[in-house]
Structures are given as structure tokens and as C-alpha cells.
Amino acid sequence: MKISNFQKSYTKRPFLDIPALEFLPEVYWIRGENGAGKSTLLKCLAGLSSFKGEIEIDQVSLKRNPRRYLSYVNYAPTEPVYPDFLTGRQLIDFYKKEKRNRL
């Protein structure tokens, strides 16, 4: 995932400003104080909030090809409740299948 010239503003005041950032295929922990913009950034990355700039996954732009971009993204804003009768692998396989069926 690549972020370039990213800016999120509220009432015309820049709130988040990220000139360039790249996430390699890893697991990340986004940490910061309350109000630092963690949730706002994640909502933008998930295509749930507008922003200026560019976000791409595998050279697929959120703004130019949102449907394809969103096929790469899952976002859970709160702690999900997982059914105890499924293993972690079964749950991931279920979500992958459901995501494919919606495209």
C-alpha cells in the first residue's frame, strides 16, 4: 500500500498530512494519542472517508478504481464478536468467500 500527498481536513484545517508512506505486506500496529487521527486514517484507507491525495494497493488507486481497490480491503471499526464454533482459519475463509461473492 502506498500513500502519497495525503491530506485530511476538517473545516478547511488540515488534520492529517502524510507526504509519502508505504506499507509492505506485514502486520502493523498504529499507535497514537486520542485524537491523533488513527481511526480517521484507517477509515480513509478503507474508502469510508474522503481525502486529498492518493492511496494505492498493488498500483490500484482507491480514487480511480474504487471497486477493485476495495476488493483488497477489510475494515472492522470495533472489536468483532467471532463465533466460537469456527476456527480462525474457517472464519478467514468465510470472509474471503463472502468478499468474492460481492464483487
Asked if pLDDT for residue 6 goes beyond 70, the answer is yes
pLDDT tens-digit map of 20-51: 999 998 888 888 898 899 999 999 999 999 99
- The predicted model gives 44-72 an average pLDDT of 96
In this prediction the pTM is 0.73
Nearest by Cα to 8 from 33, 35, 30: 35
Look at the block and give the residue holding cell 471499526: 77
